[in-house]
Every structure is written in structure tokens, then in C-alpha cells.
Structure 1
Amino acid sequence: MVHGLGGSCHDFLPMASRLADDFSLLIPDLPGSGYSDKPDLPYGPGFYAQVLSQAAKNLGVERAHWLGHSMGGQVVFSLALERPGLLRSLVAVCPAGGHDGASGWKGFLEKVLVNKNQRLRFFEPWMINLSTRAIFGDPRHPARLELTRRVRAQWMGPERPLLERSLVRSGVAILDQPVWPRLHEIQTPVLLVQGEQDQVVPPVEIQRLYAQLPTGARWESLPCGHMPVYTMVPELVSLVRDFLKGLD
């Protein structure tokens, strides 16, 4: 289970409690995120796919079911393209990677938001609250408040420069590495899950991803924003279970 940009293993704990009885779960914090180390590395979906491939080899994991959320979906797509033998199936929840070029976002990120040291030009604690409100869609959801407190505590601590570096590099790499043009090469069953009110990954990007997936890929929508891993856990788990059951 692979988290998204700025996320951590905490994002999957609500789902994990419902899946752990039937599955052995591997829920890492990617390098540069959460509790993991944050060294000077080329963060981004392609890099993370290499890291996860090596981690799977080290742990003796073969042909697993891989689930990725947001950037994690882009990472898992990249893994399926580069190391198809590792995947028995793929679940992409509100995945990134369906943009058609970087448009103006890369320039805005690099010229406006980020300085030459790959640090944010400005940062205030209220920005965390604003960001979590946008990604959740439902600002009153209890999980949003808990996530806001957890992220704020980490970003107000001594790791903030390292978090900024990994966030900036990953954000640029997301824009530089769209995966949709190659998705027709995927050889494993795919479940694509969309949030109907997602303000982070627009519907056109989900449509672009799905259009390139091989025949037989499954596309489901949930009435939520970008964070069904928190806001629609029973429904999302039900989709995942039904998808995996159909593979038996």
C-alpha cells in the first residue's frame, strides 16, 4: 500500500484494520516521508518504484497485490510498467500521472513557490489547514482534523527543511513523469477508483488514464474528494475485496 505526496503509512491505517485478517499488509513510509529517513535523493514516482522493487526483493515479496493512492497510484503504475513480475494486481485510488504535460504548473512550482535551494519560498501553518480542506472535500470530517494536527506537528519540527526538499522534488517529478501514454503495456488486472468531487486529480486525468488501460480494467467512482482512504473506508475496502475476489 503506497501513500501519496506528503502522506505516510497513517493514510492506510483505517483500511488496514479491515483488511489485516485476510491479507499480510506492507505499508511503508516512502523515503523522504513520514518516519522514514529523508536523505538527499532524487525523489519522485520513478525513483520510488525502484525503491519499492528493491524492498520487495529484500523481503522476498513476489507477485503481490499493489495499491497506491494519489502519487502512490502513479508509483504503482510505474512499477507495473518496469517490473510487471512483481504485481498480481493493481489498485489505483485517485491516482496522479494522467496529466497531459506539465502545463503551467511546473513553471509555477519552480519559479513562484520554490527557491533555488528547493525550499518553499513561504510557509505558514495555516497553509496546512487550507491544503487538507482542499484534498478532503469535506472539511468537517474528523479524519481531516486529525491529519491536520499530525502533519502540522511534523512540519513545525526540525525535519521541515528535509520534508520541503522531498515534497518539492516529488512534485516536480510527478509533473515530469506522466504515466498514461504507456498504460496499454500493463499486463496485470487493474482497478481504478475515482473520487467524484476530487479537487486534486480532475476527472479528465482519470479518463485519460482509463482510456489507455488494457481492455478489462475496472473503473469505479465514489462520491467523495481526494481522500477516500479516510472518508469512505468501508466502501473502498468493499471495492477492493470485490476486485480481488474476482481474480480467484
Structure 2
Amino acid sequence: MDIDHKILVYFILSINKIIITMGLVSDRQRNETMDFIKILGYNIRYIKIDQVKSNETIILLHGIGASAERWSELVPFLYNCNIIIPDIIGFGYSEKPRIEYNIDLFVKFLDELFLKLEIKNPIIMGSSFGGQLILEYYFRHKDFFKKMILVSPAGTQERPTLALRQYTYSCLYPTRENTERAFKMMSHFNHTVKDSMIKDFINRMKQPNAKHSFVSTLLALRKNSDLQDNLREIKIPTLVIWGKEDNTIPVENIEYFRGIPFVKTCIMSDCGHVPFVEKPLEFYKIVKEFIDS
């Protein structure tokens, strides 16, 4: 990341920090900070929300091409735990080095992130690519997570859908028309896509190396064909949530997780690829019941 770009990112995030803090932290029991930390030698942005009276930590991992802000609709409901939301290396407002992005890189990224932020035995939630990354990490560190929550996790689909192709196209050519079309295809038809979300996505995808990190990650995910075979190795409480009208990674993929003793599955009606954005309160109630059980 060159100096001028770093200054610009810090300026944008200083403004965003005020907005996020005003919107998400409304009581004195919560303290929200946004900062950068060196992971694998690169500047990684993360948001941390501390709940004064809680010893429970939940990590939120966004999907490919997304950022920490993707969880903004859900975070206000998660008021009984400490929350950490990183921008995964190569995405969001984290640094985007021009390197090969593969599963080993992302696992090392999480290793160092957890170590430097002193995270132990967390509950972890991931959407799409974030869900697949959680599973990849779990298969290498089976005693680390307390519970896993996977939202329409990637890694099980045989071929890209039309919605995923449109999303990829919008990442490579981030115009307003392309982006709005992609977000609408990924959502239930009744859901209104926020203008601020579209603008933020376009801004992020125009950052240096943003397209490189997206394509490199997408290729790495396609090369991994062992995930489905490993699912029966899951031995910790795991919740898999899918939107019934998911056109990006179809809900039929939830069948790979059914019948596994430690896995609970749930399908949310009138939701597309990101049910925590479309129906955050209903989503939270499902998650809370799982966490409390």
C-alpha cells in the first residue's frame, strides 16, 4: 500500500468510524473501536466492540469482495458479547498485496489475527467465502472454535450460478448498473438494496489491487475439491443457515450438511444470499437460540 493510498484509506475510515459508532454503539456498556493491525506484514483493518459484562467473543467473517460493513444490520442485535470483525486480507479496507491468494494464506492470516488480538475459543460466524474459510481453519485446528455458524457457505457448489457470474462481473467492472443488478440478483426480490452499500462496494473495488485479490481468491476456491468430503469430520456445535431464495449458492447445497450429528440446519424464507442483511432480527433470534443452547 503506497503512502498516498494509506492516507486516503485512513481518511475514509475516520469518517466511517464516526458513522458506525453513532449507528451501532448506543449504550454505555459497549465500546467500539476501529483500527489497523499488522498481519503477515500487511495493514489489516478491523472493528472491535467490547461488551463490558461479557466474556463471550464472536468473530464475524465477510464474504468474497465484501467488508466488515456487510454485518452492520446484524451487529446492533449482538449486544451480549464481544465482537471482532476484520476486513480479510485483500478485501474491504485492508491492504491488498499483489500476491497469490490461497487457502493456506487465509489460514495463516487467521492464525496471526487470533494470536495478536488474543482471541481464544471464540464463536465464529462466516458468510459465503467467510463460511468456507471457517471450515478450512477448523479442519486444521479442531479445538480452537467453541461453535461455528455458517451462512450460505461457499465450497459446495459444482459450478457458478448466474447471480455469482453477475457479482464477479460487477467486481471486475464496478459500475453502478452492474453492482445494483448483482446485489438485486443476490437478494430476495422484496429486499431493497441500500444506495450506501452500492457506493461503498464500488469505492472498494476501485482500490489498487482489489480486482487482483478477488480473482486470485476466486480461483483458489474453485481449486479446492476436498471440502465436501471433510464435512463429516465436524465435531463441534455448528449451525448452517441458508436463504431459501439464494440464487448465488443455491439452498440445495444445505443437503451436504444434513445428517451430521453436530450440525443443525435452518432455511430462512424470503431471503437470498445474505439473510442477516435481509432479515437481521429473525436471523439473530435463530443464532441466539443456537448460542444459548
Give the TM interval when normalised to the shorter protein: 0.7 to 0.9
Q: Is 1:2 the counterpart of 2:50 in the alignment?
A: no
Closer, same or farther: CA 192–26 of 1 in aligned 2, 3 Å: same
Q: Structure 1 residue 139: deviation in Å?
A: 6.5
Q: Structure 1 residue 47: deviation in Å?
A: 2.6
Q: In the aligned structure 2, how far is the partner of 1:37 from the partner of 1:194?
A: 30
Residue of 189, 192, 199 corresponding to 1:138: 189
Contact 1:53 1:83 in 2 (8 A): no
Deviates more, 1:236-245 or 1:197-206: 197-206
Structure 2 letter corresponding to 1:9: A
Q: Is 1:181 the counterpart of 2:240 in the alignment?
A: no
Q: Which has the higher contact order (CA 8 A, sep 6+)?
A: 1
Structure 1 letter corresponding to 2:63: G
Match of 1:12 in 2: 71
Structure 1 letter corresponding to 2:267: S
Structure with the higher fraction of residues in strand conformation: 2
> CA offsets per residue over residues 94-122 of structure 1, 9 Å max, x none?
1111124xx588xxx8xxx7xxxxx94x6
Q: Is 1:93 the counterpart of 2:140 in the alignment?
A: no
Match of 1:197 in 2: 245
TM-score, normalised to structure 1's length? 0.83
> CA offsets per residue over residues 72-109 of structure 1, 9 Å max, x none?
00011111111122200000011111124xx588xxx8
Closer, same or farther: CA 154–89 of 1 in aligned 2, 3 Å: same
Residue of 145, 154, 163 corresponding to 2:204: 154
Contact 2:77 2:284 in 1 (8 A): yes
Q: Structure 1 residue 239: deviation in Å?
A: 0.9
Closer, same or farther: CA 34–104 of 1 in aligned 2, 3 Å: closer
Q: Structure 1 residue 132: deviation in Å?
A: 1.0
Structure 2 letter corresponding to 1:129: E
Work out the percentage of aligned pairs sharing the same amino acid.
Answer: 21
Q: Structure 1 residue 136: deviation in Å?
A: 1.7
Contact 1:92 1:191 in 2 (8 A): yes
Structure 1 letter corresponding to 2:266: E
Match of 1:238 in 2: 285
Unmatched segments (≥5 aa) in structure 2: 1-59
Contact 1:133 1:144 in 2 (8 A): no
Structure 2 letter corresponding to 1:203: V
Match of 1:165 in 2: 212
Q: Structure 1 residue 168: deviation in Å?
A: 0.3
Q: Is 1:128 the counterpart of 2:179 in the alignment?
A: yes
TM-score, normalised to structure 2's length? 0.71
Q: Structure 1 residue 45: deviation in Å?
A: 4.3
Structure 2 letter corresponding to 1:39: P
Structure 2 letter corresponding to 1:173: A
Q: In the aligned structure 1, how far is the partner of 2:278 from the partner of 2:142?
A: 31
Closer, same or farther: CA 104–64 of 1 in aligned 2, 3 Å: closer
SS in 2 for 1:85: coil
Q: Structure 1 residue 40: deviation in Å?
A: 1.9
Q: In the aligned structure 2, how far is the partner of 1:234 from the partner of 1:126?
A: 29
Closer, same or farther: CA 60–144 of 1 in aligned 2, 3 Å: same
Contact 2:235 2:262 in 1 (8 A): no
Unmatched segments (≥5 aa) in structure 1: 114-118
Q: Structure 1 residue 236: deviation in Å?
A: 0.9
Taking only aligned residues, the RMSD between alpha carbons, in angstroms, comes to 2.3
Structure with the higher fraction of residues in helix conformation: 1
Contact 1:193 1:221 in 2 (8 A): yes
Structure 1 segments of 4+ aligned residues over 6 angstroms from their partners: none
Structure 2 letter corresponding to 1:75: L
